[in-house]
Structure 1
Amino acid sequence: MGEVDKYIPQPERPKDQPFLLPIEDVFSISGRGTVVTGRVERGVINVGDEIEIVGIKDTQATTCTGVEMFRKLLDSGEAGDNVGVLLRGTKREEVERGQVLCAPGSITPHTKFKAEAYILTKEEGGRHTPFFTITVRSFTSVQRM
């Protein structure tokens, strides 16, 4: 195995950046509370850390009261780990897949953005059938003389 390790480098784990975990699933555990699962993309989460739930709904502050990985309780989870995070005082209905857990103030949610897109022509290897149709509505008034 040592020979394999020489050729396959260990991936970089961005532990020095602010904590970020996209929420994959949400569970309610009786007697414990709400648990969200996902892969820590960057940073470190420790038991007792203040965190925010951002996206889809209004931003909500909460506290991490537990970290679990593969049915083992941990003191922390770091970038690259698939973890379950137990949230204090958060109901199951207040969290959903698609939101993120993050360090307070590290993520700003946006509801509008401007984008510019270039769609390849048929000759460039793009679509040969349209993916939208243009509708022009015209209103005409008629006067009697």
Structure 2
Amino acid sequence: SDGQMPQTREHLLLARQVGVQHIVVFVNKVDTIDDPEMLELVEMEMRELLSTYGFDGDNVPVVMGSALCALEGREEEIGVKAIDKLLAAVDEYIPTPQRDLEKPFLMGVEDVFSISGRGTVVTGRVERGNLKKGDEVEIVGLNKTPLKTTVTGIEMFKKELDQAMAGDNCGILLRGIKRDDIKRGMVIAKTGTISAHTKFLASMYILTKEEGGRHSGFGEHYRPQLFIRTGDVTVVLTF
């Protein structure tokens, strides 16, 4: 009902910058628009915008619907059926990502909690490789030295598993680790395969003011917030 919002353009630009190739568009709140021609115009403008940012505007699936109607169980065509169309479009148009199963195990820590009588569990999405019960791993990042531990349990969607692999969202039970020993932003990795660093070389794309970025420049020793995997830290830039 509000048309294209500035954040829509920002999200499309950011998606292209991080290499997203396929997207599906859901135009929400169509229950507030009675004019079919207006909906056609919205779709046309959206496809033009997609093409502007390098996506296949002619073929990207655009689904019209109302999330509110779906939640409230009314106007089925733009409610529940529209959500079904959205899910079908995602399944059909977006290819299954290539999972890197050959490289050593690596998972960013999203959350940490304790289970009474069992120990400390970390959750996250496996970035690469695979993991089995009994494997030795290291907790890396934020500490001067890695913490070594052993995997005593793996769980996904409330089911215990023998292993986890790239792409899985899972919980990992770790032996002898206290909850305070590990924090969001650290990583779990196969022992001896990675190390933490305090400096790295990066190539940057800086959003312009028109793209929703900074209104002013920055120089040496600027201290922005860096988001990497599940962590966010303050860094110092040098050129």
Measured against the shorter chain, the TM-score band is 0.7 to 0.9
Q: Which secondary structure does the structure 1 equivalent of 2:99 belong to?
A: coil
Structure-2 separation of matches of 1:10 and 1:120: 30
Number of aligned positions between the proteins: 131
Q: 1:128 to 1:86 in 2, by over 3 A?
A: closer
Equivalent of residue 15 in structure 1, options 101, 109, 114: 101
Aligned match of 1:55: 141
Structure with higher Rg: it is 1
User: What secondary structure sits across from 1:93 in the alignment?
Assistant: helix
Where do residues 1-145 of structure 1 align in structure 2 (5 Å cutoff)? Answer: 9-57=95-143, 58-113=145-200, 127-131=214-218
Choose between structure 1 and 2: higher strand proportion: 1
CA distance in 2, matches of 1:24, 1:121: 31
For the residues of structure 2 that align with 1:8 and 1:114, how far apart are their CA atoms? 32
CA distance in 1, matches of 2:98, 2:178: 34
TM-score by length of 2: 0.48
Distance in 1 between the 2:208 and 2:173 partners? 49
The structure with the greater share of residues assigned to helix is 2
TM-score, with structure 1 as normaliser? 0.76
1:61 partner amino acid: K
For structure 1, list consecutive stretches of 5 or more residues without a partner in the other structure: 135-145
Match of 2:37 in 1: none
Indicate the percent of aligned positions where both proteins have the same amino acid.
Answer: 60
Relative distance call for 1:10 and 1:29 in structure 2 (3 A) is same
Relative to structure 1, is the Cα distance of residues 25 and 117 closer, same or farther in structure 2, using a 3 angstrom cutoff? Answer: closer
